[in-house]
Structure 1
Amino acid sequence: MPREKEKRGRRAEKKAQKDESKRKFEEAPDAPVAKRMKPSTDEADETIEQQHHENFEHNEDYIPLDQGEEMDTQGQEDSGDMPFYGLLDEEESEYFSRANEMLELNQFQDAEERSLFVDSVYSEANGKELKIACSQGCSRLMEKLISMSDARQLRRIFSKFVGHFLHLVQHRFASHCCETLFIHAAPAVMQKASKAQAKKSDEENEEEEPELSLAEMFMAVIEELKENWGFLLTERFASHTIRVLLLVLAGEPVDVTSNESIVASRKKERIDIPIVQGEEKTQPEKQKRNVPESFEPALKKIMSDMVSGLDDTYLRALATHPVGNPVLQVLLFLELSHFGKSSAKDPKSTIRRLVPDESFEEESDSAIFIRGLLYDPVGSRLLETMVRYLPGKAFKNLYRNNLSDRIGSLSRNSTAGYVVLRILERLGKDDLKIAMDHIVPEVTGLIERSRLIVPKVLIERCVARSVDTKPLAEALEGAYDKDPILRLQQMLKFTPSEKPASQSGDHNMDGDEENGRKPRFAPQESAAEKAEKLHGSLLVQAMLTVPGPLSQLVYTSLLAQPSHVIIQLSQEPTSSRVVQQALTSSTSTTQIRRQLTTRFQGHLMELALNSSGSRVVDALWSATKDIFFVKERMAQELSQNEMALRDSFLGRAVWRNWSMDLFKRRRGEWTRKAKGIEERTEYNEGAERPKSKIELARARFAAAREASAGENQPASTE
């Protein structure tokens, strides 16, 4: 008897198992689903009182945010019935995953080719947008498509989401798609699609153009979410999308890439869109946008509805809630910045409900609340926002009654120290002097604990307010070793190797340094060590910008270093920034640069092949602007190593930045460029070259002679 034909392989087995499970699912009778019954009012009150009593028995300081709020309870019940939009089948998942890989590889010839590819992906995704947005593997593709879409495509994808936003903003993956959609639809909200473009798009695509404009779609989102603001305020995935929506409605810039952004956390995955040929890289908008007139009253209504259902106790509890705190920051920012500081006088405003007493007198409710936020890791961020945007009178009362006498001790604390930074940014010249007197005694302790951000910001504010930094320079000098060689190494957390860099033999190992990587056997640094080095480098760079004792403290340490240590500093990623700053800063005199630049002669090829050292070599071009003989010697050294430089990507960049082709072929033209003498061309025919010192002296002598001749000439009589 012949055997039945069977397909072999893992795919056939997987397909057979899938068909079998599907058949069993279809044949199985529908099981009764236990529906959650809504408790009666009396039962709900008893349950809330019982939970409230139990919570306070275990922890009297804990106040749940979701008790006593009918709107929040209803929102939680609605969120439990999350709709299921379906799953992508195996072929669809494979196609969209491959499309995502192609967008990441970015092997398109130009922007038009990529646009055609995006159109084809949109055509394939038609009707599956909600599935893709909720898919763990394909939601990133949806974010990239939205980021690359034009206004017409944004309207279409927005129209597919309308009616589902209440569930999408609470979804783990779809919430990020909603956030990206709001950000990229915001600049196009005032644009109107032309009839010719709409007609052309209708001819090319079978799908009809959506009737609503982007502004009307944003209003539809507000209408859809208006009954759930209180619940979404503290919802894990919806809160970041709500923050974006508030900023978009206000026309404020939304930058999720900044470390100080209150829109997204630092753990958020950044999806970068690579650019192609013929396309300019888009920068995050940093200016306010024009928005439709309907947005402002809608924004006021949202901000009122969010906090109107909460009493003052629960609203203050939001200040230390890890999810509700960022939303509260956005509310305070919009209230004090966007709507004007006069809105803070409204007794129903958020700021007035948080701090009802504007005088911030000792032992008042406002002062106690502020002191509770100072040392809280979450609450201190809200206090930073308050300090930054409070009206001037309220800030002065807050500072003088609660913070001025304690600013030195606050700077020692790892949490309250960030509030001190915001305080220093707002202080005037006289108050800044007093604050510096309180902080200077704590500088030694701050240096020992590697908390260098407060001294750095203090230096920057003293420069901005023209405050004498001599006491701070003396405190920094006493905090480090008196030996200038060890002082700089302590500042930068740098330990030089015993052998000179040219003899260590590590800089050319397998081309690691040339490609910007560390040598294969280099010891790995921890994140804490990297952070300490970075903060030390930033502090030294800030010191170099201040003329006087602060910058001299660094220059004397730099000039005391041996040449091989200078070369090692130039090859280290963080400390090389200090070397560049020392070479190009306005506080660096010709004598200092003449002594410092000679340390690099004989090591230029070694530095040019290093990812950090090549930037130092580029800085040497401007550092030797008035030391031409040093620049000429360095160019001669680079020309002697032409083959090694041309074989390296970093070396070719140095060769180009130093205009070495001109040096070899047209030495006179290179000399004029090195000295800053611009050559006359047809484009700058009217420009005059700068006069030399002898020419200026001749001009002064000629002017004086003409003046004296005019005085001695007798007056004519008619």
Structure 2
Amino acid sequence: MVSVGSKALVSRSSMGDYDHESLKQAKSKRRKHKKGGAAHESDSNPKHSNTNSNTFTSPPQLSRVRKQLDPETTQYFSEIANLFETEGVELEERSLICANALQETKGKEFEIATDYIVSHILETILQGCDVDHLCDFLHSSAKDFPHIAMDRSGSHVAETAIKSLAVHLEDDEARPLVEEALTIICKVIAANSVDVMCNCYGSHVLRTLLCLCRGVPLDRSGYYLSKSTTLLAERLNSKEFSKKDDATNFQPGFPNLLKVLVSDMLKHAKKCIKTLQVDQFSSLVFQTMLRVLAGDDEELLHVIPFLLGCKDKNNAEGNFIDAKVVADLKNLLKESKFSHLMEVVLEVSPEALFNELFNKVFRNYLFELSSHQHGNFVVQALISYASNQDLMELIWEELGPNLEDLFKMGRSGVVASLVAASERLHVNEHKCCEVLAEAVCPVDDSPKGIVPRLMFLDSCFTYDDKSNWSWQSGARMNVMGSLILQTVFRFRSEYIQPYIKSITSMEATHVLEAVGDSRGSHVIEAFLSSGASGKLKRRLITKLQGHFGEVALNSSGAFTVDKCFTASNLSLRETIVSEVLAVRSDLSKTKQGSYLLRKLDIDGFAANPDHWRSKQASKESTYKDFYSMFGSNDTKLMKNDSFLIDTSNNKSNPNTVKEMRKEIDQSLGSGAPFLSFQKKNPKKEKHKNKRNAYISGDDDESNRKKRSKKEKVESGFDTAATAASGKTVKKRRRDGDLSEASLKKVKA
């Protein structure tokens, strides 16, 4: 052993007795179980390895008896841990210590990596060593790497080594070393892939390895390593889905090595694919495999049929799925683990394969599958990833007339997906809104109950007499019902008149209770952003008069007050600001307070109410001038319709509209008219991100005064366009945005 620095480690031969105190300290440092990390909460419990309703025999797994680590080695690594904990160890000294420590692991990598205490120290060493010694460790431990990956402690060491390799991918000089080491690891893992992927610890290591080969940044690989808990929320928010990954933020991966690894894994999995289809941990590996291959249609057209159990190679166009496996697939869709895998299959499938799956497997089977506790999630994925109107028409024919039955069976997620897809693809929009209303509200009943019944969806359909159902004060509002209503209010206003009538007819106490609930507040905000007229929006807003301060102090209600302010006229805006001003001190202490105080310009109102009113009036005038000249037919300002122009129906370029309004608000923040042409202060111009909202100060005063109103508006339009093309608006996050716990309850 080479001594290094003033805090050099003594040689192992001179070590005394076993340092029990050092081991006690090391043992007290429990491994942190990070979400998506190698400790994987669900994976770490062997009880989860065989939870299917149909029992099956797991393939025989590799096993190896670990020898007891000798006390001298344990003491040596404990000394290193103590040294790293002390201050004053320089980077070069630390790197050299790590290199020397890795030399000591040769020949007993398995014993050290799988020791519960010493493995923690080895992780720290792997993170601190240089790429040469890291790759050298992987070379020397390659033959034992599968055994290390399948061990409770060793899996953390294996994953740390893989993540440490990823750190060096950007270094062109180190890349050949990384690729060589990675190739060896992939080869030994692939040879034992069936054992590794069926192991609760090895499964996670293999998924991390797939991500590294693809170039997925491992600090944000949670989506690839497991099913995203936000996936359902993304589907129901009608985002544009792309079957191909946005790889712009990926690291330079090893695509050829990835293909070889996948090919070898499938070759070894061929004999036991039926078992692997319903195994929890292999299913997770296959899901990750599909996601890292997303966008590579040629590879997917080979991998997906294999995972679905097709043995024959079908080269004919439109014949990827064997007819003889269709019956088996329909049964597998009701298996918990395979249903998760099929969701990812539908997510990444090329269009031709997606259509064939629908026609051969799902068609005329959707309602039956929707009624199943696991199969209904596959139907949700199918609906969400349907990309054309013709396909959506066929889906609607099977499920559209059965919305009420789906609600009664507790399959509201299928209904939510169907409504979101109708809005996204513009298929049967009017019919969808009508059938949904009839499903929750009896035909002979008043439409006033539509929105409340959807807000309390569970109690509505468990109530003995649905026609006599009433508002459930104090009850928690339903997640799916809230999401359905948020989608409904994105439809064109002429399609959702019953919903608009229902929400504007709610009692003031019910409106106040809704905005106090994170799910209900989303519904109110969706209505205020809808295509309903400003008059109807203000009818709802006035029901909160006297409570705006109280609502603003609520974590979710603050955003509702923001929406109310935007949709109000000048007098109602002043009412809102006056009430919020009364709680300014308490509001400033909350997380959302500073944003709301700034947005409503509470300080400006408190200092000079007349000046505040003038700024608001200037905004109104600017919006009207802009839309009177440049607004589309759908967004022409209706006389006295709303203080702020209603832009919800403008489907052409909503981002431009949003940025234009933001630019106007910022420009008027100082009190100057938006289209003024005052000479600018260069320092202020730089402080405001160099906006080009004003005409150059080089114009003389006489020329500015001669500009026509039309030229002023055109100048404002150019400003808005510049802002829209140069900025992005970050989406807010807050409590109640469909938490992970809520989604787990939904799927349960």
Q: TM-score, normalised by structure 2?
A: 0.61
**Partner SS for 1:163:** helix
Among 386, 389, 392, the alignment partner of 1:432 is 392
Among 440, 444, 451, the alignment partner of 1:488 is 451
Q: CA shift at 1:495, angstroms?
A: 11
Post-superposition CA distance 1:366-389 (Å, at most 9, x none): 212321222111112222233333
Matched residue, 1:590: 534
Matched residue, 2:480: 535
| Residues 372-411 of structure 1 mapped to structure 2, 5 A cutoff | 372-411=331-370
Indicate if the aligned counterparts of 2:211 and 2:221 stay in contact, CA closer than 8 A.
no
Post-superposition CA distance 1:325-351 (Å, at most 9, x none): 22233445556x454326736999666
Q: CA shift at 1:603, angstroms?
A: 0.7
Indicate if the aligned counterparts of 2:422 and 2:428 stay in contact, CA closer than 8 A.
yes
Q: CA shift at 1:216, angstroms?
A: 3.4
Paired letter, 1:166: P
Post-superposition CA distance 1:164-207 (Å, at most 9, x none): 333431222442454355356436413246xxxxxxxxxxxxxx
Matched residue, 2:559: 615
Paired letter, 1:478: E
Post-superposition CA distance 1:302-346 (Å, at most 9, x none): 22322323445x2232111222222233445556x4543267369
CA distance in 1 between counterparts of 2:284 and 2:415 reads 28
Among 226, 234, 239, the alignment partner of 1:264 is 226
Structure 2 residue runs of 5 or longer lacking an equivalent are 1-16, 24-51, 230-244, 460-472, 620-663, 686-690, 697-704, 715-748
Indicate if the aligned counterparts of 1:370 and 1:383 stay in contact, CA closer than 8 A.
no
CA distance in 1 between counterparts of 2:334 and 2:295 reads 28
Matched residue, 2:268: 309
Q: CA shift at 1:430, angstroms?
A: 1.9
Matched residue, 1:326: 284
| Residues 306-705 of structure 1 mapped to structure 2, 5 A cutoff | 306-312=265-271, 314-333=272-291, 337=294, 339-341=296-298, 344=301, 353-354=310-311, 364-424=323-383, 425-481=385-441, 482-484=445-447, 486-493=449-456, 533-548=478-493, 551-583=496-528, 585-624=529-568, 627-646=569-588, 650-665=592-607, 667=609, 670-671=612-613, 674=616, 675=619, 676=664, 678=667, 679=672, 681-682=680-681, 683=685, 684=691, 687=694, 695=709
CA distance in 1 between counterparts of 2:124 and 2:20 reads 34
Matched residue, 2:652: none
Q: CA shift at 1:214, angstroms?
A: 3.2
Q: CA shift at 1:429, angstroms?
A: 0.8
Paired letter, 2:504: L
CA distance in 2 between counterparts of 1:535 and 1:347 reads 31
Indicate if the aligned counterparts of 1:133 and 1:177 stay in contact, CA closer than 8 A.
yes
Paired letter, 1:430: D
Residue 490 to residue 188, structure 1, CA distance change in 2 (3 Å): farther
Residue 550 to residue 381, structure 1, CA distance change in 2 (3 Å): farther
Paired letter, 2:392: L
Paired letter, 1:449: M
Paired letter, 2:327: I
Residue 656 to residue 296, structure 1, CA distance change in 2 (3 Å): closer
Post-superposition CA distance 1:16-73 (Å, at most 9, x none): 99989x9xxxxxxxxxxxxxxxxxxxxxxxxxxxxxxxxxxxx9x8663536xxxx6x
Residue 302 to residue 81, structure 1, CA distance change in 2 (3 Å): farther
Indicate if the aligned counterparts of 2:546 and 2:579 stay in contact, CA closer than 8 A.
yes
Identity of aligned residues (%): 18
Matched residue, 2:645: none
Q: CA shift at 1:649, angstroms?
A: 5.4
Stretch deviating more after TM superposition (451-460 or 636-645)? 636-645
Q: CA shift at 1:444, angstroms?
A: 0.5
**Partner SS for 2:518:** coil
Paired letter, 1:602: G
Paired letter, 1:381: H
Indicate if the aligned counterparts of 2:458 and 2:478 stay in contact, CA closer than 8 A.
no
Indicate if the aligned counterparts of 2:552 and 2:580 stay in contact, CA closer than 8 A.
no
Among 276, 286, 289, the alignment partner of 2:250 is 289
CA distance in 2 between counterparts of 1:489 and 1:142 reads 58
Residue 353 to residue 440, structure 1, CA distance change in 2 (3 Å): closer
**Partner SS for 1:615:** helix
**Partner SS for 1:235:** coil
Matched residue, 1:499: none
Matched residue, 1:190: 170
CA distance in 2 between counterparts of 1:308 and 1:219 reads 17
Paired letter, 1:592: L
CA distance in 1 between counterparts of 2:164 and 2:182 reads 13
Indicate if the aligned counterparts of 1:318 and 1:328 stay in contact, CA closer than 8 A.
no
Residue 378 to residue 592, structure 1, CA distance change in 2 (3 Å): same
CA distance in 1 between counterparts of 2:124 and 2:533 reads 50
- Comparing both chains, which one has the higher relative contact order based on Cα–Cα distances under 8 Å and sequence gaps of 6 or more? 2
CA distance in 2 between counterparts of 1:254 and 1:119 reads 26
Indicate if the aligned counterparts of 1:233 and 1:239 stay in contact, CA closer than 8 A.
yes
Residue 392 to residue 83, structure 1, CA distance change in 2 (3 Å): farther
CA distance in 2 between counterparts of 1:222 and 1:300 reads 11
**Partner SS for 1:414:** coil
**Partner SS for 2:225:** coil
CA distance in 2 between counterparts of 1:266 and 1:137 reads 32
Paired letter, 2:352: K
Residue 247 to residue 670, structure 1, CA distance change in 2 (3 Å): same
Residue 604 to residue 156, structure 1, CA distance change in 2 (3 Å): farther
**Partner SS for 2:226:** coil
Indicate if the aligned counterparts of 2:283 and 2:338 stay in contact, CA closer than 8 A.
yes
Q: CA shift at 1:657, angstroms?
A: 3.2
Structure 1 residue runs of 5 or longer lacking an equivalent are 1-15, 23-58, 103-112, 194-209, 268-283, 497-521, 701-718
Paired letter, 1:445: D
Indicate if the aligned counterparts of 1:175 and 1:238 stay in contact, CA closer than 8 A.
yes
CA distance in 1 between counterparts of 2:322 and 2:299 reads 26
Aligned length: 549
Q: CA shift at 1:96, angstroms?
A: 7.8
Among 251, 267, 272, the alignment partner of 2:215 is 251
Residue 176 to residue 659, structure 1, CA distance change in 2 (3 Å): farther
Q: TM-score, normalised by structure 1?
A: 0.64
CA distance in 2 between counterparts of 1:485 and 1:371 reads 41
CA distance in 1 between counterparts of 2:151 and 2:376 reads 36
CA distance in 2 between counterparts of 1:287 and 1:463 reads 29
Stretch deviating more after TM superposition (355-364 or 455-464)? 355-364
Indicate if the aligned counterparts of 2:98 and 2:125 stay in contact, CA closer than 8 A.
no
CA distance in 2 between counterparts of 1:117 and 1:484 reads 73
